[in-house]
Structure 1
Amino acid sequence: MKTLIFKYTFFITLLLFIGNRLYAQGVDSLDIDDEEIYQDVDSLIDVHISNMTDFEELITFDPTDKFWSFQNPFPTNNTIYGVCATPNGNVFLATPMSSIIRSTDNGVQWDLKFGIGLTNSTLYDITLVNNNVGYATGLGGILLKTTDGGNSWNKMIVRSGIPLFRLKFLDENNGWVSGYSGMVYKTNDGGNNWSTQFVMATVRLFGIDFINNNLGLVVGDSGKIFGTTNGGALWTQQNSGTTQTLMDVQFLTPNRAVAVGRAGTIKITTNGGSSWSSAFSPTLSWLEDVHFIDSARGWACGSSGTIIRTLDKGLSWYQQNSGTTEWLDAIYFVDSLNGWAGGAKGLVLRTTDGGDNWIKISKGHYDNLYSVHFSDQRNGWALGKDGVAYKTTDGGLNWIFQYSLVGQKVNSLFMIDSMNIVVVGKRGLVKKSTDGGTSWINTYYGTTNLLNKVYFVNSDLGFAVGSSGIVLKTTNGGDFWYRIKTNYRNNLYDIQFVNNTTGCIVGARGAILRTTDAGNTWNVKYSGTYAKLNSIHFVDDKYGWIVGNSGTILKTTNGGNTWFGQYSGTKKELKSVAFVDSLYGWIVGANGILLSTTNGGMNWLNQPSPVRTNLNDIYAIDTSNVWAVGLQGVTLRYGSGLVLSKNKPAIIEEFFTNNYPNPFNPVTTIEFDLPEKSIITIKIYNIVGQEVAVLAKEELFFQGRNAVYFDGTNLPSGVYFCRITDELGKFKVVRKMLLLK
């Protein structure tokens, strides 16, 4: 009944939404621009899915869906809490924001398989039972399950709101999860149903292991170890001989087990837990994870980059050189030679010789970034503190450190084109490069004020704004600057123009200044707020947006002459805004917040964010090329394609698709362009991922424009997905469609 009510409410809302749009535009039929309606449908679909708390399946087959992904650090900057791997090159990483990152080629390429979106919980552990079935778990009482080798993951609830730490599955059906407040949870039907096993109140339970359906161990706070001989129906405390927190435990045989924890603690039992003794430990580091491949050989990892190894059933251990001092949270070996470790700042290590040598697979830098700008889809710059600068010539796939600005107190950069670049910064710094950033010359010495932003209206006309109301202007591409009087004394943070004569500046205490004479004079405009205003963006001579502290969003429809507020749904500081037209825009801000709109800000959606660090700036070229930068070197790109690769191009290619009419009743034509002759399968899915129609199954289609027809006569009104794939896996696309009866 709850599901029926929810679906009914959704479709009523959908119809009212479209009706209001039609009324607002003064039309009386559905004979309007299909793409415009399609954009609104997209935004409503996103709201619908994000509000479905009992939505258990996520359609993840669309590698061309647009979402935020890491360009730096790569493949993520989030801590890796869990790792597992298979002999055929599959590697899975469990991270915060419910992200599972997968490689199918031993770390050459990485793709985000689940994410981001269904929940913001941190994942602490991940395991594969066989080639198809795997599980991951973490905060919020969630369990993620895959039955197709990690291509898609289903969300299940173990115990809502309860932090879960580690899991152990003996097979596809029988598993246990350790949790907060001394609880263990058990399933015998693959996670569909869970029973609660009480162990000890107020104790956090971390590592858990079972060697068969009866014998199990769980460890936790203050050296606590509990054992069971009946599958967890009864847990009995064992004498560990330590008060150090124990983080993980593993059986080697039914009688022998090893537990590791704080201060390099290693405990061994040879009698099923009746007694525990201390093993020699070569470290005082906090040991987080332990993994054995057989009854003798194992590894453990922990703080300060510690990796230790044993060859004698855990009796003695020796250190291995990991090549890092970062905290390592997870370690996993496929066999005696091939292993993986993961930890803080997205660090991923790999060994192919049993750990004698560890190779850093993750790439990138961790410098805080505050400004980003692109001159085209390929050429861009990102700026950080004290002249830290990175340049890309391939759309952000690779970012190369630039030494030419080291030591300079730069705050903002503008690319007039790929060769002519201007930066501004502290103590009145203004520099220009005419050779793509290889060399720089000072072009202004007239102030010691802090300059926060530089902006060019065209190749000649430019401005810089900063502290104490300073405004600088150039009319020759930045070669010479002079100061403009504004009679405003508070800090100014951003500037943008509607055209060659009209523009606005935003700043402290809700300040908006406007000019209609190319910046020679400025008038104060009413903002209706005292919030600090951080960023402004215009898309044409009418539409513009401003963002600032306390979730402030302002919009103008008359070129900045008057402004009105929009609802952001957050009180966080919003730092930067970018639009590509009057409908599509994005906002970034504190704690990794990402907002998006597809209707000019009438609705702002809180997009799934892959980070929790501050995002400071955003730049957009079109809806498939948007970049955001922030603290810890975070560089994100919003666009098509799940594959994140530094070493070779993605196999998946995009191609044009369209369906008309959309919305439709009951027949629609689906068009698609193929780059080459291909064997194609076309299937239709409903909103919950169920296949409802097959339009083509392994049929030959030719290069160029092709078309098929979809008849929804026997289907209810709603959102449907058309999935088009080829037999070689080279092409794949999904299109959303709306059936309205």
Structure 2
Amino acid sequence: MKSKFILLFLLAFSICFNAYSQIDPNEQVSGNSFPLKLVLPRVFAPEPYGVDAVISVGAFDNYQVSTNNGFAETDIAVNPRDVNNFVASDNRVTGFSGTPWVYYTTNGGVTWSNTAIASNQGDPVFCADSLGNFYCAVLSSGIRLLKSTDKGVTWTNLGNIVSNANADKEWIAADQTGGPFQNHVYMAYVNFATGASVDFHRSTNNGATWSFVGNMGTGNPNPGPDVAVGPGGRVYLAWYNGGTQVRVSTDGGASFGAFVQASFHSTPGAVNGSGRNVLKTDIRVNGMPHIAVDMSSTSRRGYIYNVYAANPPGPDASDVFCTRSTDGGVTWSSGSPVRVNDDAAFTDQWMCDVSVDLQGRVWAMWWDSRNDEASNMMTETYGAVSTDGGLTFTNFKISNQNFNPAAIKIFQGANHYYLGDYQGIAGRTMTFPFYTGQNNTLQDFTAYLPDYGISFNKTIDSINPTSTSVVRMRNPVMGPYTGQVTYTSSITPSPAPGTFTVSYSPGNIRTFNGNADSITINVLASANVPVGLYTDTITAVETGGPRIHKRAYQIRVGNFVGIQQTNTEVPQVYSLQQNYPNPFNPVTNIKFGLPKGSFVTLKIYDMLGKEVASLINNLNMAAGNYTYDFNAVNVPSGIYFYKLSAGEFSDVKKMTLIK
């Protein structure tokens, strides 16, 4: 009985070991792979995905796709037959902390929905074939394949491509050329049973059956292979081994040529006590390659791009680089890699990916700490775009909230923490980066690339009845956005009685050609508009596309008598005089002098520092002496402060209102 109990215990332990060990894939160091360990992810309350909450911070929107924390390793794919159809997920597909969700959108990210798949061991990666079928490969005591024929709404478990408890870091790609290899799907993975080798398999019947092609090479540490398909059905297989090594197949994956070194680079970070390369506070990192092929109809069709994080010479521990091939993978710019991130600081850039859209624009994404030079800890998702075939990149910030990796890292053992080993980006006409971490969560976010934004030159404007509020609306771009956008205004609460009349200069329909734009919003208040605070919400809708953005500013309507220039003499210095009369009820005049033209702000505050009235808001005024007659008819008795800001001058004085 005792021997049977031990046998059953060992069998149960072995099952658990295999079920969980690949959630934390182990790297190699000095040619030796780490033994597999029992590593569990964080457990979160089971909640559905698909909330698609708009995160409107700053000028640009982010979109929160999940409603509770996932487990990193985000990936995304787009349907070649429907540019508005994407599927995505993260390591929550394991099902360890609830239902294993995959989420999808069929309307270009306006809304996201979720659907369940079979439980597995994580590392989800996606691709789509020329027919619009989606494939999802996951670890499951080997490599399991799931397929969707209805745009990601439902998924069929096709079983394991490989049954191998030592399988790790798989990647998949499908032929989208419509040529002789149009039914082919390809998969590569790391086989730790054979010394971290890169094993390659292919299917010639849309994933129904698979055949093993061969061992393509090895890598140290974890080679982390990537697969891409280019024009003519050429298959590119890349992995890490002292840099990026690439092999090319011209016969649908049946055979491959000798490897070519696409880059020479070391793994980012530094080796710590666990034997792994780490950044921040013992968070593991890697130098695995990420490749993408230009499938556009431009002159750069067929170019291949290799993007990776590396530890460059000097004090920087991690930067993002790109090399390229312009001749089908025969030669590479390995001797002259392009640094993708353009910051001047020695902060970390890591966890990158790359995608090429149908205009031939090369999009890259990564985590970036450039805005925290002091501690090199707070992190944001950054992106870059190249419109010249990877020769130069323009950087921009994607996420509108930062995060602290040390606050959300996942314990994996002594001196070893985890925030995933990859994240994804994909697109054809619009591109979606799919990332985690923002705002100190492990929730999943995305954003439109390229995109336009909205901001205002002032958050509040003060006017009298019968006068006009003038606010400048800025419309920056993230990436080379082109398209037509219509802007409309909605003012709440609706005044009763009275009306607001809105006009735009030069108009409310604007055409973007890759550059920022601006519009002046004029809001005329009729004479009988009640005194109060109103909100003007601007809605921007692009023509023929899914991008819709909203921002708001406020209009304060009051009985402000107004400002007068008292004489034409120009004072020698800035000045702010004591109001007169003081105390007053209800009108007092505030005099000030400007020795030169300045942008002027004059505001009233109560004893607690709360703004009571904005008399002048960043108004460009000529040199001279001025008097502002302030009518406090709607302000209660009390002690108040008025502050003048003009250029570099600022002064505050006290006044008393007695009714």
Q: Which has the higher contact order (CA 8 A, sep 6+)?
A: 1
Is the TM value for this pair above 0.5? no
Q: Which has the higher strand share?
A: 2
Q: Which has the higher helix share?
A: 1
Max Rg structure: 2
Please indicate the TM-score interval, normalised by the length of the shorter structure: 0.3 to 0.5
TM-score by length of 2: 0.38
TM-score by length of 1: 0.34
